[in-house]
Each structure stands twice: as structure tokens, then as C-alpha cells.
Amino acid sequence: MPRVEKTRGGKVYIQSVDRFFELGDQADVDTDEASYLVDERGDFDLVDSDATDASADASGDDEREEIAPHELTLDELEDALDRVDDVHVLDSIEMREDQGKDREGAYGLIDSRRSELED
């Protein structure tokens, strides 16, 4: 079962797990809920996931989900994106950028990497 951690924003109530979360709080949730919290809400990060462990081990890149674009310069973001090999991870990074610094340059880097992966 995936484990998520609240990493951004303030205190929130997540109805599906019937509890409040503050920064640093973790919980085991089902795969659909983990996807919602990490990819759609964007204020949670995936800490551990049985469903993704095999693919992360195969790629050799366990830190893909932890790219926080708002904490990186554009040069650092570009280097981090070069290690991403999954368009879904790019979608998550783009969502985090949208909720963070919202930089046109970052969107350009993400779109460029997406194009490389789709070719």
C-alpha cells in the first residue's frame, strides 16, 4: 500500500482517510488515493509505494517523485528533468511548478523533456 507525506501547504482534512494532515504527516493510502494526493492535489509526496517499487528499482532512479521545482533554479531543474523517464512524473512536476513559482522557463523545460520522451 502506498505511503504519502504532506509536504506543502497548511493543515487539510482528507475525507477518504478521515483525518487531518499537517506538514510531515504520513499515511498509508490506496493507489488511487495516492495518485490523487500526489498528482492532482500536489501537496503530498509519495514516500513509499509497493506498486512503484519495481519500476523505480528497474530505472535506478528512486528520487523521481521527489523533484520539487520550486526549490530549484532553472539550471538545476533542467539537470533533474534529464533524469526523468516517465511523462506522468513530468505531469506531477509541472503541477508542482504551477502551485509554486509558476515560471514560464520551467514550463518550457518540462515541455521540452516531454517532447524528448514522446519521440
Q: Is 60 helix (H, G, I), strand (E, B) or coil?
A: coil
Give the full edge-to-edge strand order of the sheet including 26-28. 26-28, 3-6, 44-48
**27-31, 64-68, 108-112: lowest mean pLDDT where?**
64-68
Residue 111's pLDDT band (cuts 50, 70, 90): very high
Please report, for the chain, the start and end positions of each structural domain, with discontinuous segments joined by +.
Answer: 1-59, 67-119
pLDDT digits (tens, 9 = 90+) for 20-49: 899 889 988 888 888 889 988 989 998 876
Q: Report residue 98's pLDDT band, with 50, 70 and 90 as the boundaries.
A: confident
pLDDT category at 112 given cuts 50, 70, 90 is: very high
Does residue 49 or residue 82 have the better pLDDT? 82
Please give the Cα distance from 11 to 84 (Å, whole number): 30
Name the region of 37 (left: φ>0; alpha: ψ -120 to 50; beta: rest): alpha
* pLDDT at res. 106: 92
